Amino acid sequence: MTVDPYVDPHSGVLRNRLGIFDPERLREVEAGLTLGDNGLLRDLLDGLVAR
C-alpha cells in the first residue's frame, strides 16, 4: 500500500498550514477563504498567533 505524503495518516485530511485535522472544519475554512470571508481569515490568523 502506498502512503500519500499530503494526507495526515491519522485523520485522512490533507495536510494544511492551518493545522486543521477535522475534515468538516477544513471544508468550512477553505470555503470561507475562497469566498474572501475576511472575518474568518482574521479569526484564523489570530488563532495561529496565539499558538
> Domain limits at 44?
20-51
Q: Quick check: is 8 in a domain?
A: no
User: Looking at the 3D structure of the chain, how many domains does it have?
Assistant: 1
What pLDDT, in 10s, does the model give residues 4-47? 999 999 999 999 988 999 999 998 888 877 766 567 667 777 77
What pLDDT score was predicted for residue 20?
93
What pLDDT score was predicted for residue 35?
64
Quick one: cell of 10?
491519522
Q: Quickly tell me which residue has 486543521 as its cell.
A: 20
Backbone angles phi and psi of 7, in degrees to 5: -115, 135
* pTM passes above 0.75: no
More confident residue, 22 or 48: 22
Q: Quick check: is 13 in a domain?
A: no
Q: Quick check: is 50 in a domain?
A: yes
Query: Identity (one letter) of the amino acid at 44?
Result: L
